[in-house]
Amino acid sequence: MFPLGAVLLPGEALPLQVFEPRYREMVEHCTSSPDRMQFGVVLISRGHEVGGGDQRTDVGTTARIVECRPGVGGRFLLGCVGERRIKVRRWLPDDPYPQAEVQDWPDEGSVIGAGAVEEVDDRVDELREVAADLARAGGARPPDFPSLRSLPGGPGEQALTLAARLPLGAADRLRVLSAPGPGERLIVLADALADVIAAARFRLAD
């Protein structure tokens, strides 16, 4: 397991620079065999990435190593991709790196409310407009956020992919990841978008 100060979502790229001895050992273990090229990523809810003693969430994502290069001072430069959502059943003693018993957590069946997809896309449109105003005010290039319906997969996968491309904080990203199924995830994502839009409008008015 690799606790981080960020939330990894399925399908999302994760570049890592690994320098702590315990995590270098983890990378060596993972890359020692083709069937071990993955590890779990969870958010550190309190504490720091370096040195241990952190508090960790129990929902995360498996990360598959797709590139591993040596760096300066014995470091590893990793390119990873988020794959599957997982739940931690039990944390094990660090030996020397964090380890846990985990289980896959596929989406649970849920009812998608009438207009849920449209609500998310309406808020994406609103965020796109506000973000463009902010970018113009700062002389920057406006960001381009995709609509939910333009993304591949079903609503559950689409919501995860969209969340990875939006300027959401770690807490909101964790809420999206922790939603049991597509219906709940769309509600969480719409709420998170409303908060981001409100913050952006506050910045515009300042």
Same domain, 122 and 156: yes
Q: Residue 98: inside a domain, yes or no?
A: yes
- Write the CATH number for 189: 1.20.58
115-153 pLDDT tens trace: 999 999 999 999 999 999 999 888 888 888 999 999 999
What pairs with residue 56 in β-bridges?
44
Domain that holds residue 187: 116-205
Q: Residue 191: inside a domain, yes or no?
A: yes
Split at pLDDT 50, 70, 90, the class of 52 is: low
Residue 51 has pLDDT above 60, yes or no: no
Give the pLDDT confidence score for residue 206 in this predicted structure: 75
* DSSP single-letter state for residue 114: T
Dist CA 62 CA 42 (whole Å): 9
Dist CA 81 CA 105 (whole Å): 17
Give the pLDDT confidence score for residue 76 in this predicted structure: 95
Same domain, 13 and 89: yes
83-123 pLDDT tens trace: 999 999 999 999 999 999 999 999 998 889 889 999 999 99
Same domain, 75 and 43: yes
- Write the CATH number for 68: 2.30.130.40
Across 66-95, b (16+ Cβ under 10 Å) vs e yields eebeeeeeebbebebbbbbbbebeeeeeee
- How many helices (H) and strands (E) are present in the chain, helices listed first? 5, 6
Q: What is the pTM of this model?
A: 0.91
Q: Residue 110: inside a domain, yes or no?
A: no
Domain boundary among 49, 81, 104: 104
Q: Residue 109: inside a domain, yes or no?
A: no
Same domain, 87 and 137: no
Same domain, 93 and 19: yes
By the 10 Å C-beta count (0-12 exposed, 13-18 middle, 19+ buried), 115 is classed as: exposed
